[in-house]
Amino acid sequence: MLNAGLPEELAELIATSNTAAADGALFDDSHTLSKLIGRKTTPFATTIAEALKA
């Protein structure tokens, strides 16, 4: 990211955010998103698989 011209602070923020997300930091078992959108959520892998079929 630094070679692409991003400031060091921004590159570090993105890298640590990605690492935290990969470690489950975004996991939320409260089903808040489902409540907001009025339906069950679809796993990302399922969405990608369906898109690749199309």
Give the Cα separation of 40 and 31 in Å (integer).
8
Q: For tokens 């640590």, name the residue.
A: 16
* The pair of three-digit structure tokens given for residue 45, joined into one six-digit string: 């892998």
Instruction: Report the pLDDT value the prediction gives residue 40, as an integer from 0 to 100.
Output: 94
Residue-by-residue pLDDT tens, the chain, 54 positions: 999 999 999 999 999 999 999 999 988 889 999 999 999 999 999 999 999 998
Instruction: Report the pLDDT value the prediction gives residue 28, as an integer from 0 to 100.
Output: 87
Contacts of 40 by beta carbon, 8 Å cutoff, 6+ apart: 34
Provide the residue ranges of all domains of the chain, joining segments of one domain with +: 8-53
Instruction: Report the pLDDT value the prediction gives residue 14, as an integer from 0 to 100.
Output: 95
Do residues 2 and 8 make contact, with C-beta atoms less than 8 angstroms apart?
yes
If DSSP codes are grouped into helix, strand and coil, which group holds residue 53?
Answer: helix
